[in-house]
Amino acid sequence: MSISVEIHKNLNSFMLDVSFRSTSRRIGILGASGCGKSMTLKSIAGIETPDAGRIAVEDRILFDSGSRIDLKPQKRNVGYLFQNYALFPTMTVEKNIGAGLKGNRIEKEKRVREMIRKFQLEGLEQQLPDQLSGGQQQRVALARIMAYEPDVILLDEPFSALDMFLKDRLQRELENMLEGYGGTVILVSHDRDEVYRFSEELLIMDQGRIAAAGPTKEVFRDPKNKTAARLTGCKNFSRIRKLGKDTVEAIDWDLVLHTGRTVPDDAEYIGYRAHDFVPVWGEAGENMLRFDPVSSASLPFEHNYYIRPGKKAGADEVICWFVQREELQRLEGRGKPDYLKIEEEKILFLKK
């Protein structure tokens, strides 16, 4: 199954310009709220109409501004899971699942029963949506979508409104339920953990444009530009000046770094993840920052230190170091380190 999408739409505050093509079964779109990712999904489903572009699933064209094709959402065979599930409040579970089914009554009833069994909704057939738990509602919503066998399923921030405990459970449940589904699933979220665990292929969106794209793990390992790096959770950035083939000056950190590999010509920034610093006790060495915390924060399983980077830095520019459990115990044993080491292979080279 392949999907190809090209969407141009004026969204007043910015232009949505998205274009991608994928044969992955699980695609993730990561972006801050209001970056146009939801609009992208709605355009694929036919709920919103792009100003121009082309959307196709396999060789079925859903939208093509060039040849004036704009299939109604009813004809697209694209399922849409809304964040609030959008279950019809006056219909029972059974009626909700059967709402969009075509064909005669016996076939419909058979299909509904099949879905109720498959999604473990037995005994809830006559319940109304507001009598169900969040997990049950998600199952009904998905059963309703799966009942009519869509080619593509779109998940619009399905877990954003949930508390952490329920979130993890529903994520696992959703993954299980989608196990046997052969079509394409696109998940949109602002939560990097969510897209990381779910998707094989990842698009990172910012201000209506795709900032980075590729296999998910690859994009997280090397986001290639600052926007994408920030959205994948990178906290520390510095402008750079190239001093040699493998030496740069990190201007904002007031530090010369040896990178251990050739610095790409188009790199303007380096990024370094807050978890990747290594504490050093004793003498200063290469690639080391003086550990001089301006503030710190204590979290249940983590400790965050904020360090002033160099003498020239302004008060609001800090480097974040996130210390996790085992290391935290080491720290408690030996006291605060003197320096933080930046490891060569973990430096990200970034374009703007």
Partner 1 sequence: MKEIMDILEELDWSPLFISLKTGVAATVISFFLGIFAARRAVKAPPGKKAVIDGILSLPMVLPPTVAGFFLLLLFSRRRPLGEFLFDEFGFKVVQTWLGCVIAATVIAFPLMYRNARAAMEQIDVNLVYAGRTLGMSESEIFWKVVVPTAGPGIASGTILTFARALGEYGATSMLAGNIPGKTGTISQKIAMVIQDGDYLTAGIWVVIVLVIAFVIIFLMNLISGKKMKNVGRW
Give the residues lining the site for partner 1 (CB under 8 A).
42, 45-47, 72-76, 78-80, 82, 84, 86, 88-91, 99-100, 102, 144-145, 148
Identify residue 2 by its one-letter amino acid code: S
- At 327, phi and psi to the nearest 5? -70, -35
Least CB distance to partner 1 at residue 322 (A)? 37
User: Is 45 or 307 the residue whose CB approaches partner 1 more closely?
Assistant: 45
User: Is 24 or 96 the residue whose CB approaches partner 1 more closely?
Assistant: 96
- Phi/psi zone of residue 212: left (φ > 0), alpha (ψ -120 to 50 degrees), beta? beta
The whole-angstrom separation of Cα 189 and Cα 197 is: 12
Residue 268 to residues 11, 13, 162, 238: CA-CA distances in angstroms? 30, 27, 38, 9
User: Is 75 or 117 the residue whose CB approaches partner 1 more closely?
Assistant: 75
Least CB distance to partner 1 at residue 263 (A)? 48
Least CB distance to partner 1 at residue 145 (A)? 7
Query: Token digits for 35?
Result: 């970056």
User: Is 84 or 296 the residue whose CB approaches partner 1 more closely?
Assistant: 84
Query: Token digits for 48?
Result: 């919103």
The whole-angstrom separation of Cα 251 and Cα 272 is: 14
Least CB distance to partner 1 at residue 323 (A)? 42
Least CB distance to partner 1 at residue 197 (A)? 25
Least CB distance to partner 1 at residue 199 (A)? 21
User: Is 50 or 309 the residue whose CB approaches partner 1 more closely?
Assistant: 50
144 and 95 Cβ atoms separated by less than 8 Å: no
User: Is 48 or 344 the residue whose CB approaches partner 1 more closely?
Assistant: 48
With 0-12 CB in 10 A as exposed, 13-18 as middle and 19+ as buried, what is 298? exposed
